[in-house]
Amino acid sequence: MKKIILAVALFTTLGLNAQTKYESAMQNGFSKMKESKTADDMSAVASFFERVGDAEKTQWLPYYYAARNYTIAAFMNPTADKDKAAEKVKDLIAKAEAIEKANAEIFCLKQQVAVMQLVVDPMSRWQSYGAVAAEVIAKAKAIEPNNPRPYLLEGQYLMNVPEAFGGGKAIAKKLFEKSVELFGNYKPASQLHPSWGKEQAEQLLAACQ
- Dihedral angle sign, alpha carbons of residues 75, 77, 79, 80: negative
Annotation: CATH topology of 102-209? 1.25.40
Predicted structure pTM score? 0.89
Q: Where are the domains of the chain?
A: 11-101, 102-209
Return the pLDDT at 12.
47
Answer yes or no: is pLDDT of 18 > 90: no
pLDDT tens-digit readout, 81-132:
999 999 999 999 999 999 999 999 999 999 999 999 999 999 999 999 999 9
**pLDDT for the residue numbered 1:** 52
Q: With a cut of 70, say whether residue 28 has pLDDT above it.
A: yes
pLDDT at 179 over 60: yes
pLDDT at 164: 87
